[in-house]
Each structure stands twice: as C-alpha cells, then as structure tokens.
Chains A and B, each alone.
Chain A
Amino acid sequence: QVQLQESGPGLVKPSQTLSLTCTVSGGSISSSDYYWSWIRQHPGKGLEWIGYIYYTGTTYYNPSLQSRVSILLDTSNKQFSLKLNSVNAADTAVYFCARVWENGPTFFDSWGQGILVTVSS
C-alpha cells in the first residue's frame, strides 16, 4: 500500500521560497498511471489544487500560482518536491501531497498527512 509523507520547514520568512518534499513508499513513483500532486488548505478553509507532475516530468499548475510554483520529481529517491517563491502570509497553509490516478477516471487516492507551513518573520 503506497504511503506519502511530506517534509520540510514549518516556518518560512516572507519573500523567501517555500520548499517541501514528499517521499513515496510502498509503490512506484515511475508508474505511467499516476501523477503526483500538491494541494493546500488555508487554516480553517477549503482545499486548493496547486498542481502536479507526471513521471516524464510534465507538469500542470494552477494559474493562480503558476508564476511562483514549480514541482520537481526525483525518481531515484522516490520523492517529488514543491517550491513556491516569494511567499507571503497568504501562503500560510497545510500542504498535502497526493497520488493522482489519471488513467481513465481521475481521482486522488492516496494522501500524505499534511504539513503546516507558516509564513512569518
């Protein structure tokens, strides 16, 4: 059974870069059936899809964040990462990584537990 685990700093200063890593265990990160996604949830609010990456390196980003975000894949370490530039207080959120099945129907079937990132000086 695949498991995902987010890691990274819980506190980032304004204008700096938020960097998170998601480590995948119990399954292949190179499968052609899946994309690897980041989603965030502002405190007490709903969910926002940030984007995802395919094993080929192809990425799709939410236009609301596209100018500041990048998602990278490290297949040798079974990890994918999120980088969000020029952060501000509005980027304070719980960040989730998830596996997305995209072979026919689409669904987010496995999620990490989430990591709270606070943007503050």
Chain B
Amino acid sequence: AIQMTQSPSSLSASVGDTVTITCRSSQGIRGDLGWYQQRPGKAPKLLIYAASTLQNGVPSRFSGTGSGTDFTLTISSLQPEDFGTYYCLQDYEYPYTFGQGTKVEVK
C-alpha cells in the first residue's frame, strides 16, 4: 500500500498567518490527492481534490499544489474556524490511504 506522510504532525498559528502542510507519498501518485479537514467529533470535510481543485463552497484561502510524490496544502490568512486536523488522501491506487493527519491550533 502507498504510504502517505504528513508534516508537521501539529502546528499552532495566529489568525491571519499563512499555514503550510505537506504530504509525501511513498511512490508517485500523479495528482491523485485530496485534502480533508476534520473538526473534533465531526466527519471529515472535503477541501481540495485532484491536488489543486477547490471543492465548491470552500473558502479561497485554501489552496493545494503538487504532483508526483510531494503535495502542499496552504491556508492563507488563517481564520479561527480553521482549527482541526487535516488529512491528505491518495486515490491513485487501491487501497486508498490517508496521511496520519496534521493538527492545526489557532492561537
């Protein structure tokens, strides 16, 4: 199975900061990657698919880049409601696999 490794595992940032989360796959996955936000006690929410396409209704401060093995989720101008854990998910091949998550705290 393809292994997805996220970094950092957690971070704390202030409102208005730019936050960057990276995800690396153990083999090339083209651009077959999504990003999900999970708030405590809630289901994950789709933010970005196909590495860089913003899901309808998701604020434009979220953006994704990358292809191959290295991917980035950027949150520009961090907002209080952006707290939670962020996961990458590769859908290049079965079994689909998630990164271990990056916990974001908003100061």
A50 nearest CB neighbor, chain B only: B95
Return chain A residues, CB-CB under 8 Å to B45. Answer: 111
The answer, among A47, A61, A106, for a CB contact under 8 Å with B44, is A47
Chain B interface residue count, CB cutoff 8 Å, equals: 24
B47 nearest CB neighbor, chain A only: A107
B47: shortest Cβ distance to chain A, in Å? 10
Asked if A106 meets B32 with Cβ closer than 8 Å, knowing A49-B95, A62-B95, A96-B43, the reply is: yes
Q: A residues engaging B (CB < 8 A)?
A: 46-49, 51, 60-64, 96, 98, 105-109, 111-114
Asked if A105 meets B53 with Cβ closer than 8 Å, knowing A47-B87, A63-B1, A113-B43, the reply is: yes
Instruction: Give CA–CA (A47, B32) in the complex, Å.
Output: 17
B44 engages A108 (CB within 8 Å): yes
B43 engages A114 (CB within 8 Å): yes
Return chain B residues, CB-CB under 8 Å to A108. Answer: 34, 36, 44, 46, 89
